[in-house]
């Protein structure tokens, strides 16, 4: 229970604000970030009911320059399996970066900016340097990539987030889920995306480092808004059925096995032309051996990452890759990989925790309904 | 007034005659956060000091509890099965974890009293 050594870690510009608000700082991808403030469960429930502010500045914001949009999109499609050309101005798309075997190097979001020309890619904090190197290696002679470390990223998540943001900018009521645009909040220039990692309606706001603390204070001064830490972020994304890179996905797992085939454009699965395309097509044609499924367990005992899944004879047949206690359902929930013929909704499963058998059922994901804003009323 | 002693691992033992009531300190529950499950030992288990005796699970992690004293488990706090959050709300009262018939009461002499523990955690 020793206090984590945080002195040598990188700090986001919101570090002092986290400390002032009682954030318990931990090492996350080499950054000192708050795992929680007062209570993970309170922060989780608050996000489901109101609005929470998360510092996600550790994430990588990579900008692509050097050509018009169409030329950029065509080049990027030789690397990424997403349908990028069809993005309208301001639209965002979830995708992955694959190796030749279709193993997932990272998951990410590609945005065509509101101005129609700029393209940027938000990637995971732990993988951003590697992603950046891969992009430069493959396309650096034709496009210019910039990993912009002068930007922070603030997520405002929860059903009241739009009401809060609408006090400062009309864009809050103009965007729908996976749309973005430039805005000004209390005199601060920002770029707002209606997206997030909690399953709730919300926004991710890119802002220059020198204005980020001011913006976070302005937003958190609203009565509806509380700070929330990485602990709540993890339990929220798990309830929402969202994968965490390095846990539920890695370079040995392809997107079909990971149950995120939607990260690959439908036409692109047929046409190919991206890194890993041949392997993706083979996997689609021949079927997968395993699938990622959602499991709810019957007792209160959490079943965590690394727990083995066994069959009636006690043979190991799968593994849990993320698992926690759902504050919303008040039951343990998990993602696990199981053989395809077993990985079906309604089937019962058995996990081993500290030598004991724990039973559960495969359920449809998400565990908790996603509340994305998919249309303007 | 009963005597409470603390280990450097943040367990407490409250002495009631020859019986020690064991749990985790208020400081420890703050560090662990929201507790969602406590795996209790079986009554009758004979413990040596330092044996793993229980597991306390918060949303984010599982933490083993090592017995700060030796002896036989004579009672466990069944109320934690329904309401593990008692460890958060009343760690050193209704959030106790197990009671042990102490086999070596002198082990308590090596543990910290209230004042020493307050220093230790500040």
Q: What are phi and psi of B28, to 5 degrees?
A: -65, -45
Selection from B23, B51, B47 nearest residue B35 by Cα: B23
Across A132-242, the runs of DSSP E, i.e. the strands, are: 144-147, 151-157, 180-185, 188-193, 202-208, 225-227
Q: Are the C-beta atoms of A131 and A60 separated by less than 8 Å? A: yes
Per the structure block, which two tokens stand in for A83? 């349908």
What order of strands is seen across the sheet that includes strand A104-112?
A92-98, A104-112, A119-123, A60-65, A144-147
Tell me the DSSP string of B8-55. TTSEEEEEETTEEEEEE-HHHHHHH-SEEEEEPPPTT-EE-TT-EEEE
Distance from CA of B17 to the nearest CA of A (A): 30
Q: A112-146: buried (b, 16+ CB within 10 Å) or exposed (e) per residue?
A: bbbeeebbbbbbbbbbbeebbebbbebbeeebebe
Per the structure block, which two tokens stand in for A198? 């909690």
How many H-runs (helices) and E-runs (strands) does chain A carry? 9, 20
Q: What are phi and psi of A163, to 5 degrees?
A: -60, -40
DSSP state of A248: T
CA A142/CA A167 separation, integer angstroms? 42
Q: What are phi and psi of A216, to 5 degrees?
A: -60, -40
Low-confidence ranges of chain A (pLDDT < 70): 1-4, 377
* Residue A375, burial from CB neighbour count under 10 angstroms (0-12, 13-18, 19+): exposed
Average pLDDT, whole number, for chain B? 95
- Is pLDDT of B1 > 70? no
Q: Which domains does chain B have, with CATH numbers?
A: 9-105 (2.40.50.100)
Per residue in A62-121, pLDDT (tens digit) is 999 988 999 999 999 999 999 999 999 999 999 999 999 999 999 999 999 999 999 999
Q: Which residues pair with B65 in a beta bridge?
A: B54
* Chain B residues within an 8 Å CB radius of A1: 9-10, 28, 31, 63
Angle between helices A40-49 and A230-239 in degrees, nearest 10: 50
pLDDT, position A376:
85
Are residues B59 and A35, on separate chains, in Cβ contact within 8 Å? no
Per residue in A186-205, pLDDT (tens digit) is 999 999 999 999 999 999 99
pLDDT, position A67:
87
ipTM of the complex: 0.89
Are residues B33 and A39, on separate chains, in Cβ contact within 8 Å? yes
Give domain limits for chain A.
Answer: 10-57+150-239, 289-363
Selection from A233, A246, A34 nearest residue B59 by Cα: A233
Per the structure block, which two tokens stand in for B96? 């106790």
Quick check: bond before A82 cis, omega within 30? no
Q: Is A39 on the interface with B (CB under 8 A)?
A: yes
- Is pLDDT of B27 > 90? yes
Selection from A328, A253, A266 nearest residue A292 by Cα: A253
Per residue in B40-60, pLDDT (tens digit) is 999 999 999 999 999 999 998
Angle at A296 between CA A202 and CA B95, to 5 degrees: 90
Q: Which CATH architecture has domain A289-363?
A: Beta Barrel (2.40)
pLDDT, position B2:
61
- Look at domain A10-57+150-239 and name its CATH class: alpha beta
Are residues A35 and B60, on separate chains, in Cβ contact within 8 Å? yes
Q: Which residues pair with A191 in a beta bridge?
A: A182, A206
pLDDT, position A1:
37
| B residues 31..90 contacting A (CB < 8 A) | 31, 33-34, 36-37, 39, 55, 57-60, 62-63, 81, 84
Across the interface, of A42, A231, A301, the residue whose CB is closest to B60 is: A231
Q: Are the C-beta atoms of A178 and A92 separated by less than 8 Å? A: yes
* Residue A66, burial from CB neighbour count under 10 angstroms (0-12, 13-18, 19+): middle
CA A264/CA A283 separation, integer angstroms? 13
CA A197/CA A199 separation, integer angstroms? 6
Q: Is A103 on the interface with B (CB under 8 A)?
A: no
């Amino acid at each position: 229970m020793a206090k984590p050594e945080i002195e040598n870690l990188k700090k986001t510009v919101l570090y002092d604000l986290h400390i002032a608000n009682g954030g318990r700082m931990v090492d996350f991808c080499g950054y000192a970030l708050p795992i929680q403030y007062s209570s993970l469960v309170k922060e989780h429930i608050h996000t489901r009911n109101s609005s929470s502010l998360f510092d996600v500045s550790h994430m990588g914001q990579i900008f692509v320059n050097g050509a018009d949009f169409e030329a950029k999109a065509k080049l990027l499609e030789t690397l990424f399996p997403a349908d990028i050309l069809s993005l309208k101005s301001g639209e965002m798309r979830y995708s992955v970066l694959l190796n030749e075997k279709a193993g997932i190097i990272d998951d990410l979001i590609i945005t065509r900016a509101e101005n129609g020309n700029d393209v940027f890619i938000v990637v995971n904090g732990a993988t951003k340097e590697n992603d950046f190197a891969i992009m430069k290696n493959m396309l650096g002679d034709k496009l210019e990539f910039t990993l912009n470390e002068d930007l922070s990223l603030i997520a405002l998540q929860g059903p009241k987030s739009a009401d809060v943001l609408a006090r400062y900018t009309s864009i809050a009521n103009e965007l729908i889920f996976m749309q973005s645009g430039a805005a000004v909040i209390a005199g601060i220039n920002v770029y707002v995306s209606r997206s997030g990692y909690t399953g709730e309606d919300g926004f991710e706001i890119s802002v220059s480092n020198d204005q980020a603390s001011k913006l976070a204070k302005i937003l958190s001064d609203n009565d509806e808004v509380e700070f929330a830490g990485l602990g709540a972020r993890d339990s929220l994304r798990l309830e929402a059925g969202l994968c965490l890179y390095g846990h539920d996905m890695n370079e040995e797992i392809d997107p079909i096995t990971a149950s995120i085939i939607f990260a690959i454009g439908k036409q692109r699965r047929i046409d190919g032309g991206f890194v890993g395309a041949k392997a993706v097509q083979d996997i689609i044609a021949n079927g997968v051996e395993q699938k990622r499924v959602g499991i709810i367990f019957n007792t209160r005992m959490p079943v965590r990452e690394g727990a083995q899944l066994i069959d009636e004879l006690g043979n190991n047949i799968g593994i849990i890759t993320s698992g926690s206690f759902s504050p919303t359902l008040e039951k343990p929930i998990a993602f696990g990989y199981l053989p395809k013929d077993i990985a079906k909704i309604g089937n019962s499963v058995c996990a081993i925790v500290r030598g004991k058998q724990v039973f559960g059922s495969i359920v449809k994901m998400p565990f908790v309904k996603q509340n994305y804003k998919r249309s303007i009323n | 007034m009963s005597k409470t002693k603390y280990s450097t691992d943040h367990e407490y033992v409250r002495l009631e005659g020859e019986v020690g009531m064991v749990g985790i300190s208020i400081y420890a529950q703050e560090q662990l956060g929201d507790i969602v499950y406590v795996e209790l030992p079986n009554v009758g288990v004979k413990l040596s000091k330092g044996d793993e005796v229980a597991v306390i699970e918060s949303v984010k992690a599982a933490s083993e509890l090592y017995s700060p004293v030796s002896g036989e488990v004579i009672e466990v706090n069944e109320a934690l099965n329904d309401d593990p959050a008692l460890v958060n709300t009343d760690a050193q009262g209704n959030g106790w974890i197990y009671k042990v018939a102490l086999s070596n009461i002198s082990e308590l002499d090596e543990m910290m009293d209230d004042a020493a523990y307050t220093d230790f955690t500040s």
